Structure 1
Amino acid sequence: MAPAITTTTVRPAPAAPAGPEARPVRSPWPWVRALGGLAVLGVLVWSVGAGPFLTGLRMIDAPALAAALAIGAVTTVCSAWRWSLVADGLGVRLPLPTAVAHCYRAVFLNSTLPGGVLGDVHRALRHGRDAGDIARGIRAVVWERTAGQLVQLGIAVGVLTVLPSPVRAYLPVLAAGLAVAGLALVLLARAVPRSGASRWARVARTAVADVRAGLLARRTWLGVVTASVVVVAGHLATFVLAARTAGADAPLPRLLPLALLALLAMGLPANVAGFGPREGVAAWAFAAAGLTAAQGVATATVYGALVLVASLPGAAVLLRRIPRREAGNCRSSRLR
């Protein structure tokens, strides 16, 4: 007699509850940053009115737009070169033409979306996926941006020390603080354990290895510094162009410190399409330097508009990829 064959019915696991517990928790930080930028703009409109914003935009002409496009091309290519050097050092190769296209798209997204960093997040994730290593792709953008900010900070401290500025009296304290912070970082890097399974030890070893390979390597550091200096010079040239377009006739040694203060304020992640802290700091700096707050607001507004125009090739890069995706979707639907 043949043995009976028993069957087992596999039942699917019960679905997770669709209640509030199953919904992902979204961070309120993007909204906080956007509201911070709106608050700064609201205070400026309340204090100086909307006139400086509108006057600055009306004074933009074709030569200023053409110059902004040319300067933007130089700074974007140098930013892409810096990113490519850092990425290659970290082992996620990035050809320069691809980096230029990604940087143009990132600048456009940064100039049009709240927060001012979503374009960089997009290029980091995109490059990481293309390279097959999302973590290294993200770290390459983080270190590339960090290197640029550090070079800009160094140039700012030097210029603000040499030329008269509203913050000149505070620079010795700032320089001492930066020196202490740099020494602390060096000591921390030397204290990183060479072995250990703790999360902190792994993160620290990865950071030290990234800095050595991506920033301080013999084939990398000179290019990173050179590209960063050119990028800062391009931003300063665009700001001076914006000041002249807005009617500010102050001499260049008087404008450069104000431009650097406004550029440093752009690093604050609390803005709306780039507008907010930049205009606030420009208004304060211009007034403290003996000019007018309205002139500072107008200059910063023109600068934002020129940067947006200079980023328009990024919109073309963004739109060029949309038809490819749509075509791919159509082909896949026909195959189904």
Structure 2
Amino acid sequence: MSGRVWARARVLGGVLVLAVLVWRLGAEPFLDGIRGLGPGALVAAAAIGAGTTVCSAWRWRAVAAALGVGLPMRAAVAAYYRGQLLNSLLPGGVVGDVYRGVRHGADVGDLGRALRAVVWERVAGQVVQATMALAVLTTFPSPLRGWALAVAAVGAVAAGVLLLTGRGLVRRGPARPARVARAVAAEVRTALLQPSTWPPVLVASVLAVLGYLGTFLIAARAAGVDGPPSQLLPLALVVLLAAAIPVNVGGWGPREGVAAWVFATAGWGAAAGASVATAFGVLVLVSVLPGVAVLVADRRHPSRPRPTPTAARGPGSDRVQDEVREDGALHG
């Protein structure tokens, strides 16, 4: 499937999910989610969003530094705001991240390494979020607990199979795939598993997820769902995982569909889930609006490429990049 066809399919998928929800529930639940938002909720979302953005930028900066393409914290925060805004406005939910990597690559003169830094920091964030979701879903009483246990079992088996397959590929596989597998493993160790890297990546990811959970609880209250956090948090974590699915229109689509499902499963009704997801989407958009100022500043002061000192590159990363370029892999 070509990139253009896949991009259209992602947009179409998000539109179809929203269309089905409106067809089944009507427009009222979505309007209710917007009507319930007051100034206090918007201000709180902006404040929480500032914290989650700083944490995410900290994670990105740690990974980029490990790969030898570090950047100042102030620049990382500004770029992350810009990327989140683009993700919230454009189809697919990943355009802002790609642009963030491309701009950083232009700044440091190493596009491939900068793009991979974005990939690894997003992967790390998603892994931590999924782990937190499974931990909460298997610990707190929830109608989704059975699903979580099944997913955890399947995930454990899949991880074991993947690990064994990867080791077999490295040891006995064809030369070129084996080199690529070794390069990927080496870069994961460099980017995420160094003693100087994994603690900030882990802490920043956990804090960012907690910030999104706080925003979700505000959205639930605004939509009229007053359940205790112990009941809402498992649902919120599932909705957050759905929000990361790159088949959406500016973040809308799977998030609202999964919210309708989990809230119906929990007894609040699909309409309540759609209202909460709508309120959450609006709050997230408000929280990333500072990205507008970054885009305006970009137009006034375009970035200029600057060379990256060789000494700043991460240990072993030159070998990784050479192998990856040779095999035409890992270009983002």
| Shorter-normalised TM range | 0.7 to 0.9
The answer to whether the aligner puts 1:128 opposite 2:113 as a matched pair is: no
Match of 1:104 in 2: 81
Counterpart residue identity of residue 156, structure 1: A
Picking from 82, 85, 88, the partner of 2:62 is 85
CA displacement, residues 6-61 of structure 1 (integer Å, 9 cap, x when unaligned): xxxxxxxxxxxxxxxxxxx7621111111100100000101110011112111111
**How far did 1:271 drift?**
0.7
| Equivalences for residues 166-315 of structure 1 within 5 A | 166-188=143-165, 190-191=167-168, 193=170, 198-315=175-292
Query: For 2:299 and 2:264, how far apart are their aligned partners in 1?
Result: 46
Counterpart residue identity of residue 277, structure 1: P
SS in 2 for 1:174: helix
Match of 2:96 in 1: 119
SS in 2 for 1:94: coil
Match of 2:325 in 1: none
**How far did 1:250 drift?**
1.0
Picking from 68, 73, 80, the partner of 2:50 is 73
SS in 2 for 1:28: helix
Give TM-score scaled by structure 1 length: 0.86
Match of 1:21 in 2: none
Aligned in 2, Cα 1:150/1:26: closer, same or farther, shift over 3 Å?
closer
Contact 1:115–1:269 (CA under 8 A) maintained in structure 2: yes
Counterpart residue identity of residue 63, structure 1: G
Contact 1:107–1:314 (CA under 8 A) maintained in structure 2: yes
Match of 1:38 in 2: 15
Match of 2:28 in 1: 51
- Structure 1 range deviating more: 217-226 or 26-35: 26-35
Structure having the higher Rg: 1
Q: How many residues align?
A: 302
**How far did 1:252 drift?**
1.1
Query: For 1:317 and 1:186, how far apart are their aligned partners in 2?
Result: 41
Query: For 1:79 and 1:100, how far apart are their aligned partners in 2?
Result: 8
**How far did 1:189 drift?**
5.0
CA displacement, residues 195-240 of structure 1 (integer Å, 9 cap, x when unaligned): 9994423321221111111100011111111111001111111101
Query: For 1:242 and 1:60, how far apart are their aligned partners in 2?
Result: 8
Counterpart residue identity of residue 69, structure 1: A
Query: For 1:79 and 1:195, how far apart are their aligned partners in 2?
Result: 39
SS in 1 for 2:301: helix
Counterpart residue identity of residue 33, structure 1: R
The gaps in structure 1 that reach 5 residues or longer are 1-24, 327-336
Contact 1:196–1:202 (CA under 8 A) maintained in structure 2: no
**How far did 1:132 drift?**
1.4
**How far did 1:77 drift?**
0.5
**How far did 1:184 drift?**
3.5
Aligned in 2, Cα 1:195/1:131: closer, same or farther, shift over 3 Å?
farther
Which has the bigger relative contact order, CA under 8 A and spacing at least 6? Answer: 2
CA displacement, residues 59-106 of structure 1 (integer Å, 9 cap, x when unaligned): 111110110011001100000000011111111112211111110000
Contact 1:111–1:308 (CA under 8 A) maintained in structure 2: yes
Match of 1:19 in 2: none
Give TM-score scaled by structure 2 length: 0.87
CA RMSD across the alignment = 1.9
Query: For 1:139 and 1:314, how far apart are their aligned partners in 2?
Result: 22
Match of 2:142 in 1: 165
Contact 2:169–2:177 (CA under 8 A) maintained in structure 1: no
The gaps in structure 2 that reach 5 residues or longer are 304-332
- Structure 1 range deviating more: 171-180 or 231-240: 171-180
**How far did 1:194 drift?**
8.3
Contact 1:109–1:119 (CA under 8 A) maintained in structure 2: yes
Query: For 2:173 and 2:157, how far apart are their aligned partners in 1?
Result: 28
CA displacement, residues 108-164 of structure 1 (integer Å, 9 cap, x when unaligned): 000001111100010011111212111111111111000000000100001011123
